[in-house]
Structure 1
Amino acid sequence: MGDLQATVEFYVELYKFYNVDLFQRGFYQVRCSLRVAPRLPVQVETCIPDPQQYPLQPSNQQQSQQTQHHQQSQQQQQQNQQQSEQQQQQQHQGNFVPSSACIVGGCGASRVFQILYRNEEVNLRDVILFRAHLLGKCELFMGY
């Protein structure tokens, strides 16, 4: 048997932040990343999905839109790369405060939010998409 390439998508929704023990007022941001074992041949792609694409569609609709989704994901990847470059330029200038989820150094980051009080709740509702492109022997995926 030959090699098989598989793509696994993980949607992470940062829905709500509940301040338990941050005693210092200030601006905060939640960051997350997908880590994989270094011995695995995996390429991880991080992006912010278009709000119209989530929540995930039922599987019968997904099958009919796979080619459209692939084209959109390529366009979205180019847009995310351009946005990332713009954000890096603004960060170097020192005047960048994201108002929505963004990609920072390969990590998904929530919008910046302010914490004023202990036990405070902040609604984030930010979604981050991780795509893991795996390459492995067919036997591993098929269960032979």
Structure 2
Amino acid sequence: MLKNLKFATAAIALGGVLPIWGFAATPGAAGTTQTPAAAGALVSVKPSAEYTEDPLRSTPATWVSNCPKYRFCTTQVGSTGRNIGFQFYRCAEYALTNWGVNGNSYRLVYNNQNVTVNYLNQRHGVVDSTGPWKSDVVNFKPIWYISLCN
């Protein structure tokens, strides 16, 4: 129940709805697969996330809400317009490339671990943070790094 309350709070922060980013079906013959309207920027992280799901098999909100214990989870819109899920757990500073540039830069995160996650700018200054065992909505556009060490 408390987890649902956290995500309801995140929905309110996003104007009452959690965003679901999708793509339009390609017009044509019946049975064709869906493809994105246009290619975007390639999204990456170094060192690699401990787990990546590309593309997501569920909505971003559902995927983040199912974040395993002792992980930090979030999603990004990839270059194909599909959502990618990322899970982190190591004490490391991760360099983010093109996070927040495809689709909506505001993304739901869930810090399901006992450390604070810091969001850092280009000069490694702390822009924002998410405390232990908390969900949040983060604008990834100005974020260049995330740190799971404190």
- TM-score normalised by the shorter chain: which range applies? under 0.3
| TM superposition score normalised by structure 2 | 0.24
Larger radius of gyration: 1
Instruction: Name which structure has the greater RCO, CA cutoff 8 Å, separation 6+.
Output: 1
| TM superposition score normalised by structure 1 | 0.24
